[in-house]
Amino acid sequence: MKPIVLVIAPPEDPHLKVMVPHLEGRGAEVVCWHIGGFPAESTISAHLQSGAWCVQLNKSLHLEEIHSIWNRRARSPVPVPDETTKKFPDETTKKFVDGEAAQAVYGLLGSLRRVKWVNHPQANRVAGYKLVQLQTASQCGLAIPETLVTNDPVMARDFFDGCGGEVIYKTLRQHTLAEGATIYTSEVLPEHLERDMRAGIRDTAHLFQKKVPKELELRSMVIGKRILTAEIYSQHSESSRIDFRRGYDDLRYGIHDDLPLNLQVKLLRFMDRMDLAFGMIDFILTPGGEYVFLEVNPSGQWYWLEKETGLPMCDALADYLVEGEEP
């Protein structure tokens, strides 16, 4: 009997298209589910039997038969807009319908603990908090930047002065603004902390970090016990120097196959503490040879790095989903 791999992803995700052939090539049956299309595009039914939910998807697939779940990129259930407008014209009712759908989907998925997850929704949710990541990384022995979280303009100014004016600002979570604009990591300048601009700091929490000098940047795919690391050369271009996402066209790449063994041990300890089977971890390698942890993205992008470097990231993920260690 073929192992069944359930893939949770929107149909337009480019990682989905390249991974399905790798999974099928290992003898797996691949079932794709776009949670964002529930309830309009799919059905679920569940009965609680002998202390466990027996979940049926689209009247055919029993989730307890699944070998593994690749939680690539889940989206909240959303009714079809036209139907929503007709049936639920007021916002309160629509929120109720959306909320009930989300509670059912994530409650039932969250109960599937005997399945091999990449990653479990609860683990992804916790990993979405950068402050939890930084604390856990530090506890696991990983070097992290000196960090301040505050909405106090005086504390921000003191931190800036204590770091010799070498400070960056980054968001606590990824945000997309109006018209698809992204808030990138940016340098904090003295004028940002002057009296007439302090009100902005007081309005909400801000994440400040001491700027870490970069020789190059690294992005590691950790899947199970396997670590694949790409080098990202960003310092030759002004557009990519602070945040390489600003200048993809200017980046150069390499393979970093000499990650220190003690660092690998710390990384795997960190992933275990975060209850993550998969993550894309960003580092800075300083001119002095220190590896500084920045963050982990449990649903991070990686296929572009395979194309640029030839690292077998698709193979590593497919191997784990079909043949890797049991949960």
- For residue 114, give the CATH number of its domain: 3.40.50
Let me know: does 207 contact 171? Beta carbons within 8 Å. yes
As for how many domains the chain has, the answer is 3
**What average pLDDT does this structure show over 191-217?**
87
Q: Are 194 and 227 found together in one domain?
A: no
Q: Are 16 and 111 found together in one domain?
A: yes
Q: Are 105 and 32 found together in one domain?
A: yes
Out of 160, 176, 210, pick the residue that ends a domain.
Answer: 210
Asked, for residue 129, whether it belongs to a domain, the answer is no
- The more confident residue out of 70 and 112 is 70
- The more confident residue out of 49 and 166 is 166
pLDDT confidence of residue 179: 66
Asked, for residue 217, whether it belongs to a domain, the answer is yes
pLDDT confidence of residue 284: 97
Q: Are 243 and 301 found together in one domain?
A: yes
Q: Which of 7-16, 103-112, 158-167 reaches the highest mean pLDDT? A: 158-167
pLDDT confidence of residue 314: 96
Q: Which of 6-15, 188-197, 309-318 reaches the highest mean pLDDT? A: 309-318
**What average pLDDT does this structure show over 247-262?**
93
Q: Is the pLDDT of residue 131 over 90?
A: yes
- The more confident residue out of 324 and 279 is 279
Let me know: does 147 contact 207? Beta carbons within 8 Å. yes
Asked, for residue 322, whether it belongs to a domain, the answer is no
Q: Is the pLDDT of residue 55 over 70?
A: yes
Query: In terms of residue numbers, what domain contains 31?
Result: 4-118
Q: Are 97 and 194 found together in one domain?
A: no
Q: Are 200 and 218 found together in one domain?
A: no
Q: Are 236 and 291 found together in one domain?
A: yes
Asked, for residue 124, whether it belongs to a domain, the answer is no
Asked, for residue 102, whether it belongs to a domain, the answer is yes
- For residue 232, give the CATH number of its domain: 3.30.470.20
Q: What are 37's two structure tokens? A: 């299309």
- For residue 154, give the CATH number of its domain: 3.30.1490
Q: Are 239 and 286 found together in one domain?
A: yes
**What average pLDDT does this structure show over 301-315?**
95
Q: Which of 32-46, 105-119, 152-166, 312-326 reaches the highest mean pLDDT? A: 152-166
Asked, for residue 205, whether it belongs to a domain, the answer is yes
Asked, for residue 104, whether it belongs to a domain, the answer is yes
Out of 118, 136, 165, pick the residue that ends a domain.
Answer: 118
pLDDT confidence of residue 76: 66
Structure letter (DSSP) for residue 59: T
Maximum distance among all Cα pairs of the chain, rounded to whole angstroms: 68
> Strand, coil or helix: what is 176?
strand
Task: Convert 270-294 into a string of H (helix), E (strand) and C (coil).
Answer: HHHHCCCCEEEEEEEECCCCCEEEE
Q: What are phi and psi of 57, to 5 degrees?
A: -110, 125
Q: What are phi and psi of 265, to 5 degrees?
A: -60, -45
Asked, for residue 21, whether it belongs to a domain, the answer is yes
For residue 206, CA distances in Å to 18, 150, 201 come to 37, 5, 7
Q: Are 111 and 61 found together in one domain?
A: yes
Out of 192, 210, 228, pick the residue that ends a domain.
Answer: 210
